[in-house]
Amino acid sequence: MVDTAKRESLLRLIRAQPGHEDGRALVTVSEFFDGNDDLGSIGCNLSDHPGVDHFGRVLSDIEARSDVEEVWMRIYDLEGNWPFSENLNFR
């Protein structure tokens, strides 16, 4: 079950960013996955969804690499149980 308090906190963070209505808000991997168990929030087009935790672990592992400074989740949509991301930004 989605943690509604964490969802509301994330929504406030997203809505505070200019351009969030155009799908240009960015949040960190930890911000996106903290309290999130909504399969529709990432990889929703996969017929064999590996689970939200799997995406979180993989992205955290990428973020921990020495050749990666940051990983950002681009928020595309705020509807549903959890904000939806379909793009990542790496630096």
Instruction: Quote the pLDDT of residue 18.
Output: 94
In this structure, what token pair is assigned to residue 7? 């969802």
> Domain range spanning residue 11?
4-90
For the chain, what is the domain count? 1
Q: Are 83 and 14 in contact (CB under 8 A)?
A: yes
Instruction: Quote the pLDDT of residue 2.
Output: 82
Look at residues 25, 34, 68 and name the one whose alpha carbon lies nearest to residue 52.
34
- Print pLDDT tens along the chain (91 aa): 788 999 999 999 999 999 999 989 999 999 999 999 999 999 999 999 999 999 999 999 999 999 999 999 999 999 889 999 999 999 8
Counting beta carbons within 10 angstroms of the beta carbon of residue 82, is it exposed (0 to 12), middle (13 to 18) or buried (19 or more)?
buried
Instruction: Quote the pLDDT of residue 1.
Output: 78
Q: For the chain, where are the E strands, in sequence order?
A: 25-28, 71-77, 84-90
Q: Against a cut of 0.85, is the pTM above it?
A: yes
Tally of CB atoms within 10 A around 58? 12
DSSP 90: E
DSSP 34: T
